[in-house]
Structures are given as C-alpha cells and as structure tokens.
Amino acid sequence: MLLGVHVSIAGHIYEAIDRAAALGCTAMQIFPRDPRQWRKTRLKPEDIEEFRLRRRQSGMAKVFIHIPYLVNLASPYNILYKGSIRAAVQDMQEAAALGAEYVVAHAGSHKDSGEGKGLHRLTQAVNRILDKTKALPVSLLLENTAGAGSWLGYRFEHLAYVFRRTEQPARLGVCLDTCHAHAAGYDLVTPAGYEQTMRVFGKQVGWEKLKLIHLNDSKDACASHRDRHEHLGKGMIGLQGLGRLVNDSRCAGAAFILETPKDTARSDRMNLARVRKLQQGKGRYGV
C-alpha cells in the first residue's frame, strides 16, 4: 500500500518532502501555493531542483498536487472559467517540473446554471487542460464531492459523463474521497451498503480509473452533504467501514492519502498508525 498525508509547503516547497518522509510516508500530497489565492509567483528553479533531489533521496513513490480551491472548472462565468483552465494548466506544468505524477481537481460548481450545463463546461475544461499539456507526463484526477450547493461530482455518474467524453482517457483518473462519498449519500458504513457503493463505482467509473483515495472519516451523517473531515475512527464512517476499503483488493492500485484534521503535532502519526493497524486486521471486515 502507498500511504501518506497532505503535507504543508511552509518555508520552501521542498521541505514538504522531509515532512512526509519523517512520517514514514510512501506517497504525499501538497498544494503548490496558497489554496485560497490565485498564483502570484512561479516556483524558483532552484526550489524545483531541490524538491526533485529530496524526493529521490526519500524514495517517495507518488506525489500528488492538489489544485487550489478558487479554481472552478464548471463555472458559467467566462472570466472565472478561463482563469480556472489557465491556472490548472499552470499547475500541470509545475507538477511536471516537480516530477509529480498527478494533479487533483474538484469537479467544480455549476453555480445554479444546471447540472447538464455544468457537466458540459467541466468536460470542455478537462479536454482543454489535457490538450494544452499533452506533452507532459502528468495525469489529471477528478475528485468526487459532498454535493453541497451546486457542486458537481457528488454522483459517480457525473464522473462517468466526463470520462465518456474525454479526448485523452489515459490521462484522466479519479480521486475517491471517503468523507465526500459518505456525505453525498454513498453508504460506506454497513457491509451491504459498502458493497453496493463499490459495485456502483466499478460500473459507473471503473476500477482502472481509481488512482488516489483520500481516506477520511466524516463528522456528519450519510447524505448530509457536509464536507467535514474527521480523524479515522472518530466519525460516522468508523473503523469498520474504513477497514473494508483499506483491505479491498479492488483498491490495491490506488495510493491512500489522509486529509484528516491536524489538531496536534501528533495527529498525522496517530491517523497513519490507525491505517496500518486496519491493514493488519485484514479479514475482520468481510472483504
């Protein structure tokens, strides 16, 4: 299993490698810049070089870049829409420079323009991003959402819509967030509900598309549409549900990244230890 956490780039971006390695991670995720601001500067060449050097020294198997929150690839507003595509292309370019394999993006919000129009805009954006970066060895991953407001991606069918219409299917995959799936109404808690959810995912999306799992518990109930992550085993999904996923052979090709709360300096270590314990408990979860 490739296992890691979302780590801070505070100081210099290459220090994120050290933080992940110190936790025993074999995979990691970062924001390339402040997630609540548009890009102000580009990465310095010397920082990129140092990032790649420290990654080689650490043996980090996979690096994921998460696109910041302001990007909306389904926006009906042309200025934001075009700016979001441009920002995503730049993130793909920086990911390639850093040697990262994947860029993760939320499916976007249609802003009350309607799901059909939003999905069409999202598909167009994905195709433009992949076309403008076709020479890069970086893939784009669409992340499912909790379904609050006018967000797309809360149903697996939304992701399937884009996959059926993408012009570069080999460079488009999925990031499955467990908190988001639970909040969107997919049952990950009961054995029967879990298996039904996985059957739907496999049919609608396809297991070959699953490249990353954001492993998070949820503070809120199933179908709440509230995106509030919780420590593993402390939320409404619980260790039984998360344990089924961790030990599900259908997920073996994906990396697991934790986006759990960082209440204390030991929070990441605590949650990583719980994942490893769940692995050791294989067989207890009916998978």
Catalytic choice (155, 158, 182, 229): 229
Residue 173 to residue 245: CA distance in whole angstroms: 18
259 is catalytic: yes
Tell me the C-alpha distance between 154 and 171, whole Å. Answer: 21
Let me know if 36 is a catalytic residue: yes
Asked if 200 contacts 166 with a C-beta cutoff of 8 angstroms, the reply is: no
Q: Collapse the DSSP code of 250 into the 3-class scheme (helix H, G, I; strand E, B; otherwise coil) and give the result.
A: helix
Catalytic, 214? Answer yes
The catalytically annotated residue of 18, 50, 195, 259 is: 259
Task: State the catalytic residue, choosing from 19, 121, 180, 231.
Answer: 180
Question: Is 12 annotated in the active site?
Answer: no
Among the options 91, 94, 227, 268, which is catalytic? 227
Q: Which amino acid is at 174?
A: V
Q: Of the listed 66, 155, 171, 182, which one is catalytic?
A: 66
Would residue 6 show up in a list of annotated catalytic residues for this protein?
no
Instruction: Confirm whether 177 is a catalytic residue.
Output: yes
Active site residue 120: no
> Is 248 noted as a catalytic residue in this protein?
no
231 included as an active-site residue: no
Burial of residue 208, with CB atoms counted within 10 A of its CB: 0-12 exposed, 13-18 middle, 19 or more buried = exposed
Backbone angles phi, psi at 142, to 5 degrees: -95, 130
**76-112: b or e for each residue (b if 16 or more CB lie within 10 Å)?**
beeeebebbbbbbbbbbbbbbbbebbbbbbbbbbbbe
Residues in the chain: 287
d(CA 113, CA 203): 28
Which among 229, 216, 207, 117 has a CA at the least distance from the CA of 156? 207
Six-digit token pair at 23?
A: 């936790």
Assess whether 227 carries a catalytic annotation: yes
| 143 has catalytic annotation | yes
- Residues that are catalytic: 36, 66, 69, 106, 143, 177, 180, 214, 227, 229, 259
